[in-house]
Amino acid sequence: DGKLKVAIWTTTPWTIPANLAVAVNPEMEYCVVDAKEGVLDGKTKLLVATGLVKTLESKFELPEGENFEVLATFLGEALVGTTYQHPLYDRTSPVIAGGDYITTESGTGLVHTAPGHGQEDYLTGIKYGLELLSPVDDVGRFTTDAGGSTVVGDDFVGKSVLGEGNTAVIEALEEAGALLRAEDYGHKYPYDWRTKKP
């Protein structure tokens, strides 16, 4: 009963429209946990790193004495080659083997991969032959490539990724029943020293 969802953590929700893979550490242990009331719909099962279960229970503020029930455990290598459905677009993407940047220090142990945004993602995308999707124009606004969402249609198009676009992605994930938790995170972007803009 309930769906299995791949739980990823990102500090840059605006990159979710460009998500083309989820990376796991093949040598790390993962598990399927039975989510509790107050986590998504209370029926969904989550795929997370076993070493992060206690941290995630705390993040989700489960009532005292409540814990995620671990239903199965396996190494990340068993996940490589499986697929998942993007929560906002009509596309299926692969679970791939990432590098040693995937740890149990924070997050969920599964890393959202958008080859058009970020060097590690780009290199991982090249390795696996993923498309280079970067639906952002030269002034930092979503292009028509960010349109066509099964949840919000073309609502992202034209929005600033560091402002209303970021907020729109978070809201769309919530509307799709795919947002586990949102919290503020201070992210550093390169800024022009003259204009003080990204």
Residue type (1 letter), 48: V
- Please say if the pLDDT value at position 16 is more than 80: yes
Share of the chain above pLDDT 70, in %: 89
Spatial distance between the Cα atoms of 53 and 31, rounded to a whole number of angstroms: 9
State mean pLDDT over 78-88. Answer: 94
DSSP 29-88: EEEEEE--TTSTTSS-EEEEEGGGHHHHHHHTTPPTT--PEEEEEEEGGGTTT-EEE-SS
- Using the structure block, give the residue that is written with the tokens 């279960």: 53
Query: How sure is the predictor about 187, in pLDDT bands with cuts at 50, 70 and 90?
Result: very low
Distances (CA, A) of 97 to 28, 41, 64, 135, 143: 11, 29, 35, 24, 29
| pLDDT given for residue 88 in this prediction | 93
- Please say if the pLDDT value at position 55 is more than 60: yes
In sequence order, the 6+-apart residues with CB closer than 8 A to the CB of 76 are 24, 25, 26, 27, 28, 29, 30, 97, 102
Share of the chain above pLDDT 90, in %: 51
Query: How sure is the predictor about 57, in pLDDT bands with cuts at 50, 70 and 90?
Result: confident
Lowest-pLDDT range of 39-43, 46-50, 119-123, 139-143: 39-43
- Please say if the pLDDT value at position 194 is more than 80: no
Spatial distance between the Cα atoms of 92 and 78, rounded to a whole number of angstroms: 18
| pLDDT given for residue 196 in this prediction | 63
Mean model confidence pLDDT for the chain: 86
Query: How sure is the predictor about 95, in pLDDT bands with cuts at 50, 70 and 90?
Result: very high
Spatial distance between the Cα atoms of 54 and 146, rounded to a whole number of angstroms: 35
Higher-pLDDT residue of 173, 101: 173
In the DSSP assignment, the letter for residue 138 is T
C-alpha gyration radius of the chain: 17
- Please say if the pLDDT value at position 43 is more than 80: no
Dihedrals phi, psi of 31, to nearest 5 degrees? -145, 160
111-157 per-position pLDDT tens digit: 899 999 988 889 999 999 999 999 999 999 999 999 888 888 889 99
